[in-house]
Amino acid sequence: MELPKYILGDNTDYPNAIFVIHTDFPRFIINLENDEVEWLEDFDQHDEKELMNETERLIQEASEFYDREVSRYDS
């Protein structure tokens, strides 16, 4: 099965949270309510250095994905 790069998620136990799941490497879930990121990968020191360079871009992409999806619901 091919998954989309980003998936929206919510949970009634967290009524104010909106989650965006990034399914490509590095996989993560971001809670857009507070910008908390949970990484679903184990990283070594080399990966961590590269990850620091990519984190801001990935979070921006996740936010843009959310904005795009919400605008489609409003149409």
Q: Which two tokens stand for residue 34?
A: 């507070």
22-33: pLDDT as tens digits: 999 889 999 999
The model's pTM is 0.85
Q: Per-residue DSSP letters for 18-61?
A: -EEEE-SSSPEEEETTTTEEEE-S---HHHHHHHHHHHHHHHHH
Please report, for the chain, the start and end positions of each structural domain, with discontinuous segments joined by +: 1-41
CA–CA separation, 33 vs 9, rounded Å? 12
CA–CA separation, 6 vs 20, rounded Å? 6
29-73: pLDDT as tens digits: 999 999 899 999 888 877 777 787 788 889 899 999 999 999 998
